[in-house]
Amino acid sequence: MDEHPDWTTEQREMLELLRSKNDVEIDAALAPIAEALEKDPELAQRLEHILAWDSRLSEAVRDVAVPPGLAEQIIQSVEAHSARPMPRADRPCSSRRRRLAWASVFVGAGAAVLLIAIAVMGSVPKMDPGELRSIARDRFVESRDNNLPGPTAVAVPSGFPYSPDLKPMPGVRSYPVADFREARAVAYDIPLGGNGTATLYVVRCRSHSLPQRPPRTPQMRTLDLAIAAWQGDDVVYVLVTEGGEPAYRFLLRSFSGTLA
C-alpha cells in the first residue's frame, strides 16, 4: 500500500531529479518542485531519506577496489542506452516527455550504482561470530606469547572507527592487522594499568546475531582472556581483555560507564 497516496505522479518522478541541488539551481523547469519541497514537509523528508541513502552508499564504496570488468560493463550499458533512436527534432517534446527522458538517464545511472553496491557487498566477507572471536584471540595470543615488540602506532585507514561505546584513553595505539583471514582489520591496544592490556579489533565484515553494544559478560572465556564481539556501523568490534571476566567488566565500567 502506498503510504503517501496524495502525492502526484509528477512529484514522485521528480524526486530522483532533485538529488543534486545544483540541478535545482540550473534547470528552471525544476523550480516548481523545489517550491513544493518547501511547502510539503513529507515530500522534503522523502528527499532527505534519498540523500541519506546516497551518503551511506558513498561511504560504503569508499576505499573499496572496483572488481575487474565492472567499468566495462557499465560503459557497455550506457552505450547501449545511448544507441537507442532519439525522438525526431521536428516534433516538440512535451514537458512531461522531457522529464521522463531525464528520469531514464537517472534510472540508468541508478542501475550502475546498484551494480557497484552489489560488487561492494560481495567484496566484504561474511564471518561467523565464533570465528571472529577465535581469530581475535589468536592474534592477541600470538603478539603476547611470542614476545613480539609492541607495534608502532600509525595512521589507520578510514572506515575503522574506535567504538563509540568505549572512551578513548591516553596511551591507546592503533595499527592495521596484517592477518585477519579474508577481512581487513585495525587493532587498538588499550593499556589497563600494571601489566594488563586489552585489544579492540575493528573488523570490516558482515556477521549476524551480535548485540549492538558490548555485552555485560564476555561471550568467550579462554585461558586468562575474556572476549566479546558486537555490531557497529558497517564494522564488527571484537574486544580481547587480559585478566578474564573481572578485567573485562572493569574495563567497561571504567571506559564506558555503562554495561549493555
pLDDT band for position 68 (cuts 50, 70, 90) = low
Predicted structure pTM score: 0.55
pLDDT reported for residue 158? 84
Average pLDDT, the chain: 74
Residues 6+ apart with CB under 8 A from 60: 117, 120, 234
Q: What is the mean pLDDT of residues 235-249?
A: 95
- Residue 92: how many CA atoms within 13 Å on its side-chain side? 2
Q: What is the dihedral of CA 120, 137, 177, 150, to 10 degrees?
A: 160
CA distances from 77 to 1, 54, 182, 233, 252 (A): 33, 21, 31, 33, 52
Which of 8-17, 61-70, 119-128, 154-163 is predicted with the least confidence, judged by mean pLDDT? Answer: 61-70
pLDDT band for position 248 (cuts 50, 70, 90) = very high
| % residues pLDDT > 70 (the chain) | 51
Which of 20-24, 29-33, 65-69 is predicted with the least confidence, judged by mean pLDDT? Answer: 20-24
Q: What is the mean pLDDT of residues 77-104?
A: 60
